[in-house]
Chains A and B, each alone.
Chain A
Amino acid sequence: MLAEALALSAALFTIGVVGVLIRRNAIIIFMCVELMLNAVNLSFVALSRYYGADGQVFVFFVMTVAAAEAAVGLAIIISIFRHRKTVNLQNINLLRG
């Protein structure tokens, strides 16, 4: 049972990573980050069955942070869109040194 749960978690995480790496739309990348967070949550929950409830407590923390992040992140993305009329990350390189 654990093996299947962890495999699913790994698969979701990998999809998330690949999505972050290859997609250009900021909202999709954002959703992929959420996917990675939830993949981790899945492995926490799966492991908590064997090692006690600590993992489930962590999940709540992660979900709280993810909620906060979603609020801030979406606000930033909207702000960027208002200035640039795009959310394609290829066109946004304000960090260039």
Chain B
Amino acid sequence: MTVLSAGILPLIQHAAPAAGAHPLAGTVADWLWLVPLLPLLGFVINGALSLFAVAHTGPSDPDAGHGDVAAHDHADAGHTLPGDVASGSHGDDHHPVARHRFAGIVSVVGPLMLALSFVLTAAMFFAMRSAHATEPFIQTYFTWMITGELNLAAAFQLDQLAMVMMLVITGVGTLIHVFSVGYMRDDPGYPRYFAYLNLFVFFMLVLVMGANYPVMFIGWEGVGLCSYLLIGFWFSEKANADAGKKAFIVNRIGDFGFLVALMMLFAHLGTMDFQGVAAGAPQMSTGVVTAICLFLFLGCVGKSAQIPLYVWLPDAMAGPTPVSALIHAATMVTAGVYLVARSSFLFSLAPVAGLTVALTGALTALFAATIGLKQWDIKKILAYSTVSQLGFMFMAVGVGAYVAGIFHLATHAFFKALLFLGSGSVIYAMHAAYHKTGSHEDAQDVRNMGGLRRFMPVTWVLMWIATLAIAGIPPFAGFFSKDEILTSVYARAHGSTLAEASWLGIPGSALLYFIYFVGIVTALLTAIYMTRMMLYTFHGPNRTGEAERGALKEAPWVMTGPLVLLGVLSAFGGWFNLPKIFTDFLPVGPTFALEHWLDPVVGEQQLAVTHGEAVHLSHGTELLLIGAAIVVAIAGIVVAWRMLKPEKLVPKADSPADEGFERIFAEKYFVDEGYDRAIVQPLYRGSRGVLWRGVDAGLIDGFFVNGTAWLARAFGWLGSTAQTGAVGTYAWVVVLGVVAVIGVFTLR
């Protein structure tokens, strides 16, 4: 490792320009390139081991370990809805087969690369803190492409925003890698899994470290690829492979928007690096900026699962649970929020686009929360909760409260990763129990759980911490970030460029009050559905089954260890950005630490939205808003606790079908079915009827290909009839030809 880096270092430093004046030059930040390179190296090693194993023992992956899956499926077909892609009943199969022959070395390489990356990032964080840099630290490696006016450099940029993201990615990523060592222990695709996971982290780091939009786009597409690979990790089951494809295809729609935005930026500014765009943005007309922002937001809608492109995320739960935690909760899906915050210099100039972002976020938050109320699959509940929380983040960045959005992004990464990994522990235990008796019950359905707190006390406590955090109970992390979002929305309704703009004829301030109201309702629903999940999973009597009960036990420490660390972060993550009103009351930490930290990146843009003055609400109003948020959160928990009776729940196999409103929630408003009818089926029909039968078989094959052949044959037939073989005729033709030629030359 050191040998390798020593070999590469001189090369790259040679290529880098002398960033003489920057305070970070000459510090540990010179090693910036190594941060994404370490996970890439992990990918190469793990991938090579995976291929090597296949080459020497034959492709044992992934079918061998799932030898009994076929039988599983037949048994399960009866009570799995057809077309319900991510029923996930076997998404998390664990079959105690022999460990992969390279499992030992992979368990070291995979998490170690991430841990080294995290240590390096942390060192850079401290260097940055002491350097007080206000300008981003840019490292240019080589010229990527020069075409006409386009001059693109492969460059990384280190600033305060990228640093927050890097810390979250490598920090939470390391914990999830460690958890995976236990969770994926006996999977036959063990090295392949870690190779993909390492590759994902590499691309995610490229995404947040890129110094221009195209480099960011490389990361953006790369994480999409890894998401696809990991959702379909157990690809021998068609449902999983289909879920992967769905995620990839839905994301293409969003990526189209991203690309259009990039081209518009280039057409209007001639540059695509962040500094150039930031400098040139004010020269563009508001209409153009709004269009660019809306196209960028289309990319975010796809990647971050907002209405109307959120449908892929719940299905993405088909992948292994640690993947759901890392990619589909903590990091990749928040890339959209990061993109908006990174493009704050554009969004702060386009209030209409900002209102669109905030409104989409609010509606998504509410919509997903209502669906979350009636899901039975523990991972589905968390998936809709993720969609809903992403909606909150977009509310924040939409109204120009970029710090609040990033703050919620970070705290959400902590508590949602904890929730997912906790559910992973639960599923692990459930699956082990069912596997012991050979039962084919659904290991992810909360109706089959219940009373697990007696068997898994550590997971129980940690999951409650995360639940209180996401519900917004002080002093847990989610309370501070969610409260800051709601306060920001409310404050911007009073005096900001957004409030004065009008959105499709609706005054901005009215819209912002509406968004605030939706946010409060969603906070209530969040508390309800999370408490419901906890009640059904950990409280009441156990419904797993008599024979299986004895096998339920806490997961090994390699899995619960990361949970404990995430529990600490979920409990105290709010300390990163304590509001003043809180520190006035209880001076336990620094005030608005994250706000100050991110000030060089988004401070100016935040002020631009609020007319150059910091948001100021009266003390009373602020207390009232906080009070409302707390009351709503507590009310949600109390309501759920009072109304839901886990004692009355019966196992999945004996449960009646949902009816009425409950059915609409449980079936997710039939959105998938609607999309199928409105888009997928017409597309199929159009492809078959028009494009295949009409265009391909009819026009291209029939007219062009066969038509050309027919034409050649027709001419050939005409020519052959002239060949009579009678020399006299030929002589006539020759003479007439000569006469004609001579005639033309003489008469001309």
Contact = CB atoms under 8 A, between A and B. Distances in A.
A95 B732 contact: no
Nearest to A24: B728
A94 B726 contact: no
A93 B731 contact: no
Measured as residues with beta carbon below 8 angstroms from the partner, the interface class of chain A is 10 to 19
B731 A21 contact: yes
Nearest to A89: B727
Contacts of A89: 726-728
Contacts of B720: 97
Contacts of B727: 89, 92, 95
A93 B724 contact: yes
Contacts of A92: 727
A96 B723 CA distance: 5
Nearest to B716: A97
Nearest to A22: B728
A54 B719 CA distance: 42
A93 B732 contact: no
A20 B727 CA distance: 10
A97 B728 contact: no
Contacts of B732: 21
Contacts of B728: 21, 24, 89-90
A17 to B, nearest CB: 6
A73 B373 CA distance: 105
B723 A97 contact: yes
Interface residues of B, number: 13
Most buried by A among B722, B726, B730, B735: B726
Contacts of A24: 728
B725 interface: yes
Contact of A95 (B719, B723, B731, B735): B723
A97 B723 CA distance: 5
Nearest to B719: A97
Contacts of A93: 724-726
Nearest to B722: A97
A92 B719 CA distance: 20
A30 to B, nearest CB: 12
B439 to A, nearest CB: 82
A contact patch SS = loop
A67 B730 CA distance: 24
Interface string A40-60: 000000000000000000000
B735 A96 contact: no
A24 B726 CA distance: 10
Of B719, B720, B723, B731, chain A has the most CB atoms within 10 Å of the CB of B731
A94 B732 CA distance: 18
B735 A21 contact: yes
A95 B725 CA distance: 4
Nearest to A95: B725
Nearest to A97: B723
Interface in B5-24: none
Nearest to B726: A93
A92 B720 CA distance: 18
Contacts of A95: 723, 725, 727, 730
A34 B727 CA distance: 17
Interface in B705-748: 719-720, 722-728, 730-732, 735
Contacts of A17: 735
Interface string B601-635: 00000000000000000000000000000000000
B427 to A, nearest CB: 80
Contact of B725 (A20, A21, A97): A97
Contact of A90 (B722, B726, B731, B735): B726
A20 B720 CA distance: 24
Nearest to A96: B725
Contacts of B725: 93-97
Contacts of B735: 17, 20-21
A24 B722 CA distance: 20
Contacts of A20: 731, 735
Interface in A72-97: 89-90, 92-97
Interface string A14-38: 0001001100100000000000000
B143 to A, nearest CB: 64
A93 B732 CA distance: 15
Contacts of A90: 726, 728
A77 to B, nearest CB: 12
A17 B725 CA distance: 20
A23 to B, nearest CB: 9
A13 to B, nearest CB: 11
Nearest to B730: A95
Nearest to A18: B735
Interface centre among A21, A24, A89 (most CB of B within 10 A): A21
Contacts of B726: 89-90, 93, 96
A77 B720 CA distance: 26
A85 to B, nearest CB: 18
A52 B682 CA distance: 88
28 contacts: A17-B735, A20-B731, A20-B735, A21-B731, A21-B732, A21-B735, A24-B728, A89-B726, A89-B727, A89-B728, A90-B726, A90-B728, A92-B727, A93-B724, A93-B725, A93-B726, A95-B723, A95-B725, A95-B727, A96-B723, A96-B724, A96-B725, A96-B726, A97-B719, A97-B720, A97-B722, A97-B723, A97-B725
Which 6 pairs between the two chains have the least Cβ-Cβ distance? A96-B725, A97-B723, A93-B725, A95-B725, A97-B720, A93-B726
Given A20-B735, A97-B722, A97-B725, 20 more contacts: A17-B735, A20-B731, A21-B728, A21-B731, A21-B732, A21-B735, A24-B728, A89-B726, A89-B728, A90-B726, A92-B727, A93-B724, A93-B726, A94-B725, A95-B725, A95-B727, A96-B724, A96-B725, A96-B726, A97-B723
